[in-house]
């Protein structure tokens, strides 16, 4: 999306575009933490609902004898006591305070959810069952809630297509939680290392600087299409794929191709993945023959398959 935005800019200011890219990644990291905070807010709502029910003028048997399984969920208790999450939220001023209505709406959706009711009434009640439910909640319920998606778009323009991916990352993090974890449990870092940050910058910078050269390759291998008629997103996906193949010797070609075909499925049209796959296959064969790229280490894994 940053590459697309750059192609729509009038000033061709690469340093500014690069800063915007890194900023957008940082915003995605904020969303990662915000979803953890959402779990805590829903937990608070559940606790409040139980207390309110107890103080009705004429409480029912269920009001006086509620099912505490969700409010006693061990993973949610861990999150509530997580110092890392608390510090980050305070530093970035992350909060759901202006979106209480969204939290209540999500809570209402949750209590009507079949998986929630199965969890609440299951005979097994242990840490693993608690963790499994929270992972399902984040990865299966959150991504399909229109009100949550709309609220995130309202909070930040950078979150309009990050929800599904970030939910997966939150789920992966929770799966690593253990019953004995202390409240200082670390979350995923923004970048695993400086190498990852360098990868992002080089991938973006070289895709821009070498865009013309890669466009010529694409034009050469789209014999039945004029390049001007190909959708811009299709072109950008192919340019980035070529760039990764050429610039990063330790990444296997098949890994690159598979990942960019998936990106094409998400960001382009329904037919783009097949189109991109066919063009990239032909381009890879040519650039291997011309010695335009070389692979080493892990990048050599599938080189024998390229003919």
Same domain flag for 47 and 170: yes
Same domain flag for 136 and 57: yes
Better-predicted residue by pLDDT, 270 or 244: 244
Q: What is the pLDDT of residues 55-86, one digit of tens each?
A: 888 888 887 888 999 999 999 999 998 988 99
- Cβ proximity of 285 and 242 under 8 Å: no
Q: What is the pLDDT of residues 180-200, one digit of tens each?
A: 876 666 789 999 999 999 999
Q: What is the pLDDT of residues 88-100, one digit of tens each?
A: 999 999 999 999 9
Same domain flag for 33 and 60: yes
Percentage of residues of the chain with pLDDT beyond 90: 67
Which of 110, 140, 175 represents a domain boundary (last residue)?
175
**Residue 298: pLDDT over 70:** no
**Residue 129: pLDDT over 90:** yes
Same domain flag for 222 and 108: no
Q: What is the pLDDT of residues 131-181, one digit of tens each?
A: 999 999 999 999 999 999 999 999 999 998 899 999 999 999 999 999 987
241: domain CATH number? 1.10.940.10
Q: Looking at the 3D structure of the chain, how many domains does it have? A: 2
Same domain flag for 26 and 95: yes
Q: Provide the CA 252 distance to its chain's centre, in angstroms.
A: 23
Read off the tokens for 20.
């915007």
CB atoms under 10 Å from CB of 42, counted, come to 20
Does some domain include residue 6? no
Domain that holds residue 167: 11-175
Same domain flag for 54 and 96: yes
Same domain flag for 161 and 268: no
Same domain flag for 156 and 299: no
| 64 Rama sector, left if φ>0, alpha if ψ -120 to 50, beta otherwise | alpha
**What confidence tier does 119 reach under pLDDT thresholds 50, 70, 90?**
very high
Residue 11: the pLDDT is 82
- Residue range 14-41: mean pLDDT, rounded: 96
**Residue 304: pLDDT over 70:** no
Same domain flag for 124 and 216: no
Same domain flag for 206 and 163: no
Percentage of residues of the chain with pLDDT beyond 70: 93
Does some domain include residue 181? no
CB atoms under 10 Å from CB of 110, counted, come to 19
**Residue 110: pLDDT over 90:** yes
Does some domain include residue 216? yes
User: Residues 174-184, buried b or exposed e (16+ Cβ, 10 A)?
Assistant: beebeeeeeee
Does some domain include residue 180? no
**Residue 299: pLDDT over 70:** no
Does some domain include residue 80? yes
Which of 175, 210, 242 represents a domain boundary (last residue)?
175
Same domain flag for 162 and 258: no
Better-predicted residue by pLDDT, 133 or 225: 133
Same domain flag for 121 and 200: no
Does some domain include residue 185? no
- Residue range 219-243: mean pLDDT, rounded: 85
Does some domain include residue 82? yes
This prediction has a pTM of 0.86
- Cβ proximity of 41 and 96 under 8 Å: yes
Residue 66: the pLDDT is 87
């Amino acid at each position: 999306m940053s590459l697309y935005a750059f192609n729509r800019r009038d000033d061709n200011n690469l340093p500014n575009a690069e800063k915007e890219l890194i900023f957008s990644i940082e915003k995605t990291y904020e969303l990662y933490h915000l979803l953890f905070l959402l779990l805590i807010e829903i937990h608070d709502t559940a606790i409040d609902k139980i207390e309110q029910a107890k103080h009705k003028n004429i409480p029912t048997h269920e009001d006086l004898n509620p099912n505490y399984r969700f409010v006693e969920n061990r993973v949610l208790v861990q999150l509530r006591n997580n110092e890392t999450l608390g510090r980050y939220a305070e530093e970035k001023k992350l909060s759901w305070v202006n979106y209480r209505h969204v939290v209540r709406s999500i809570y209402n959706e949750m209590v009507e959810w079949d998986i929630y009711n199965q969890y609440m009434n299951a005979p097994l009640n242990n840490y693993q069952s608690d963790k499994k439910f929270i992972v399902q909640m984040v990865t299966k319920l959150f991504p399909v809630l229109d009100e949550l998606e709309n609220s995130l778009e309202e909070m930040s323009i950078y979150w309009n297509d990050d929800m599904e991916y970030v939910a997966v990352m939150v789920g992966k993090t929770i799966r690593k939680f253990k019953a004995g974890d202390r409240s200082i449990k670390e979350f995923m870092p923004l970048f695993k290392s400086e190498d990852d940050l360098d990868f992002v910058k080089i991938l973006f910078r070289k895709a821009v600087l070498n865009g013309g050269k890669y466009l010529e390759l694409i034009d050469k291998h789209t014999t039945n299409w004029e390049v001007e008629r190909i959708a811009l997103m299709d072109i950008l996906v192919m340019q980035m794929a070529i760039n990764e193949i050429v610039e990063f010797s330790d990444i296997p070609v098949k890994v690159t191709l598979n990942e960019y075909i998936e990106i094409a499925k998400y960001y382009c049209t329904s037919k783009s993945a097949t189109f991109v796959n066919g063009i990239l296959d032909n381009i890879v064969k040519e650039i291997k023959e011309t010695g335009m790229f070389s692979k080493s280490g892990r990048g050599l894994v599938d080189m024998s398959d390229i003919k």
